[in-house]
Chains A and B, each alone.
Chain A
């Protein structure tokens, strides 16, 4: 149990976001609103420049009637949630075995050189964050990366050039 100030849930998020979260809440049994926490975090992260502030985590807790610590546990456990600001575009490069033996080291090197940053860093203009990720389940298209919801497979420097050019 946590003692929290009574909140007006309608004021926590925009109507669109509340509607989307509520659709997820409706999928689970009535007394298991908490099951929607992962969806809620994703929805808010997507709407909030790609990362989750502590204030946002607290709001999710209030909205789903969860203790804040339970939301922090989830937000820190799963790799897709960002708890610090990230670039407008997050490039997630797989470097696991199948990608590695098909040249992901060179792909990372090429990206680092083109963007002027290292893995884990964000470009100065805040446009791109480069992130190393674990196997994304597309090893048949190794080497591969993900930006937003999109997978890019069978990467070559030329393909990377065109991907980077396409980022607004």
Chain B
């Protein structure tokens, strides 16, 4: 059951082209929906039934999100796709944009029909030039073929879709920061409520979903919500794209059923480099607290299993660490990232991420103080849940996870002013 949804055309010669996509039934669902004028409620019900949860990392049920829009309220509504893929370890949306852009376009058009929107944007991170060009080419093809634009396929339904290119800011992956960014502002998250469903892009009702979520829609409708749900496990419907990287032989993107054992995913990814021992796994992007290797080998890749181990499935970005890695150094790098990317709006995050980075750095540099571990716990706790967006929690989570599972290694650094395992990368 691999490559059944977003990567189902990957075996084709040039799957990003319209004729290739259509050779596998591409745009048939959009055509069917428009021809039969499927009631939007039916579409939303089907998406709900599929158990699809937001693939960007938050895991909020997609169908439920759509149902918050007052479809018949007057005025413009928007469909926005979040292709601002930036969670460290994540590289799956890049492949959807490069290899199956038409399925994303079809999914967005169906979403627009379901919520009554006639305008949409796909926010692609600025560094993704090749994916951007692929997507733009696909847009052009879709417009020419009449799948986008005015009066699509003679149905009376209009949908214009454009790309917005980012400028390099992790925080813009947060949905309201992303909306600010489309509005031509710095990407600082908005206070919620109101949620985007009521006050979104340009102050109008907006749904904003991840690339993978929207690209899954055509197959969910074609084969039924139940079909999609049954691929996965309870509470984690469908298959999922896992980006797996780190100390493994065959890193890459794998579309596999939710609930697949981690051990199988590791095997697909070629196993550990140089036959080394698995030390820890960051299961859902760098914001997800680390899970020790032994524990991870017994877990399955789904929301509940990973949450039960005190972490989160997040964006499905799996970073595999072998026993040559110094966890202090790994945490130092991650903490630097959040310090660098904090937008500066909320004091606990702006100041706290700097504290976390500086304290972890001095431990790594052999200048740690006896009180530092308690200090890190304290600072992480003072950020968690006290900020407008989840970036603060994302910065605190890895610290809490590392100190929970690898506290001895940090203590050793402080006590001996040197590393327990040697510098990262086995140098």
The answer to the question of B325 belonging to the interface, with a C-beta cut-off of 8 Å to chain A, is: yes
A62-77 Cβ-contact flags toward B at 8 Å (1 or 0): 0010100010011011
User: What are 21 A-B contacts with C-beta separation under 8 Å?
Assistant: A42-B165, A77-B169, A77-B187, A78-B169, A79-B167, A79-B169, A96-B88, A96-B286, A97-B282, A97-B333, A98-B88, A98-B251, A106-B425, A137-B85, A137-B128, A138-B91, A139-B90, A139-B243, A139-B246, A140-B251, A140-B252
Chain A residues in 8 Å Cβ range of B169: 77-79
Contact between B127 and A38, CB atoms less than 8 A apart: no
Of B59-67, B177-185, B299-307, which stretch is located at the interface?
B177-185
Chain A residues in 8 Å Cβ range of B247: 101-102
Contact between A96 and B337, CB atoms less than 8 A apart: yes
Partner of A81, one of B167, B183, B184: B167
Known interface pairs A66-B184, A102-B246, A149-B130; 18 further A-B residue pairs with C-beta atoms within 8 A, sorted by A's residue number: A28-B162, A32-B183, A35-B184, A97-B286, A97-B330, A97-B333, A97-B334, A98-B89, A101-B325, A101-B330, A106-B425, A134-B341, A137-B85, A137-B93, A137-B125, A139-B243, A140-B91, A141-B251
With both chains docked as a complex, state the minimum distance between the C-beta of A110 and any C-beta of chain B, in angstroms.
13
Partner of A134, one of B76, B93, B337: B337
Chain A residues in 8 Å Cβ range of B90: 135, 137, 139
Chain A residues in 8 Å Cβ range of B282: 97
Q: B93, B164, B330 — which one has the most chain A CB atoms within 10 A of its CB? A: B164
- In the bound assembly, the distance between CA atoms of A105 and B252 in angstroms comes to 22
B339-353 Cβ-contact flags toward A at 8 Å (1 or 0): 011010000000000
Knowing A134-B337, A139-B90 are in contact, say whether A74-B184 is a contact too (CB < 8 A).
yes
The answer to the question of A127 belonging to the interface, with a C-beta cut-off of 8 Å to chain B, is: no
The answer to the question of A83 belonging to the interface, with a C-beta cut-off of 8 Å to chain B, is: no
Contact between B186 and A98, CB atoms less than 8 A apart: no
The answer to the question of A95 belonging to the interface, with a C-beta cut-off of 8 Å to chain B, is: yes
A8-48 interface (Cβ within 8 A of B): 27-29, 32, 34-39, 41-42
The answer to the question of A164 belonging to the interface, with a C-beta cut-off of 8 Å to chain B, is: no
Q: A28, A37, A136, A140 — which one has the most chain B CB atoms within 10 A of its CB? A: A140
Contact between B91 and A41, CB atoms less than 8 A apart: no
Contact between A137 and B330, CB atoms less than 8 A apart: no
With both chains docked as a complex, state the minimum distance between the C-beta of A19 and any C-beta of chain B, in angstroms.
16
- In the bound assembly, the distance between CA atoms of A77 and B86 in angstroms comes to 16
Knowing A97-B286, A134-B340, A136-B127 are in contact, say whether A42-B167 is a contact too (CB < 8 A).
yes
With both chains docked as a complex, state the minimum distance between the C-beta of B9 and any C-beta of chain A, in angstroms.
19
Number of A residues, CB within 8 Å of B: 48
- In the bound assembly, the distance between CA atoms of A146 and B126 in angstroms comes to 12
Contact between B202 and A139, CB atoms less than 8 A apart: no
Chain A residues in 8 Å Cβ range of B243: 139-140
Write the chain A residue with the least CB distance to B78.
Answer: A29
B19-61 Cβ-contact flags toward A at 8 Å (1 or 0): 0000000000000000000000000000000000000000000
Task: Describe B's contact surface by its main secondary structure.
Answer: mixed
The answer to the question of B102 belonging to the interface, with a C-beta cut-off of 8 Å to chain A, is: no
Partner of B182, one of A35, A78, A95, A105: A35
Which residues of B line the A interface, CB within 8 A? 76, 85-91, 93-94, 119, 121, 125-130, 162, 164-170, 181-187, 202, 243-247, 251-253, 282, 286, 317, 319, 321, 325, 329-330, 333-334, 337, 340-341, 343, 424-425, 427
Q: Which 4 A-B pairs have the closest CB atoms?
A: A78-B167, A79-B168, A34-B184, A77-B186
The answer to the question of A100 belonging to the interface, with a C-beta cut-off of 8 Å to chain B, is: yes
Write the chain B residue with the least CB distance to A39.
Answer: B165
Write the chain A residue with the least CB distance to B94.
Answer: A137
Chain A residues in 8 Å Cβ range of B167: 38, 41-42, 74, 77-81
- In the bound assembly, the distance between CA atoms of A105 and B243 in angstroms comes to 22
- In the bound assembly, the distance between CA atoms of A70 and B185 in angstroms comes to 7
Partner of A80, one of B127, B245, B329: B127
Contact between A36 and B184, CB atoms less than 8 A apart: yes
The answer to the question of A103 belonging to the interface, with a C-beta cut-off of 8 Å to chain B, is: yes
With both chains docked as a complex, state the minimum distance between the C-beta of B117 and any C-beta of chain A, in angstroms.
13
Write the chain A residue with the least CB distance to B85.
Answer: A137
Write the chain B residue with the least CB distance to A138.
Answer: B91
- In the bound assembly, the distance between CA atoms of A28 and B76 in angstroms comes to 12
Q: A28, A36, A74, A146 — which one has the most chain B CB atoms within 10 A of its CB? A: A28
Chain A residues in 8 Å Cβ range of B87: 135
Chain A residues in 8 Å Cβ range of B89: 97-98, 135, 139
- In the bound assembly, the distance between CA atoms of A95 and B332 in angstroms comes to 12
Write the chain B residue with the least CB distance to A140.
Answer: B251
With both chains docked as a complex, state the minimum distance between the C-beta of A60 and any C-beta of chain B, in angstroms.
11
Knowing A79-B169, A137-B86 are in contact, say whether A74-B185 is a contact too (CB < 8 A).
yes
Chain A residues in 8 Å Cβ range of B166: 38, 78
Knowing A38-B165, A135-B337, A140-B252 are in contact, say whether A78-B126 is a contact too (CB < 8 A).
yes
Chain A residues in 8 Å Cβ range of B186: 73-74, 76-78
- In the bound assembly, the distance between CA atoms of A14 and B334 in angstroms comes to 43
- In the bound assembly, the distance between CA atoms of A32 and B252 in angstroms comes to 39
The answer to the question of A86 belonging to the interface, with a C-beta cut-off of 8 Å to chain B, is: no
Write the chain A residue with the least CB distance to B93.
Answer: A137
Q: A81, A95, A96, A150 — which one has the most chain B CB atoms within 10 A of its CB? A: A96
Chain B residues in 8 Å Cβ range of A149: 129-130
With both chains docked as a complex, state the minimum distance between the C-beta of B338 and any C-beta of chain A, in angstroms.
10
A96-116 Cβ-contact flags toward B at 8 Å (1 or 0): 111011110110000000000
Chain A residues in 8 Å Cβ range of B329: 100
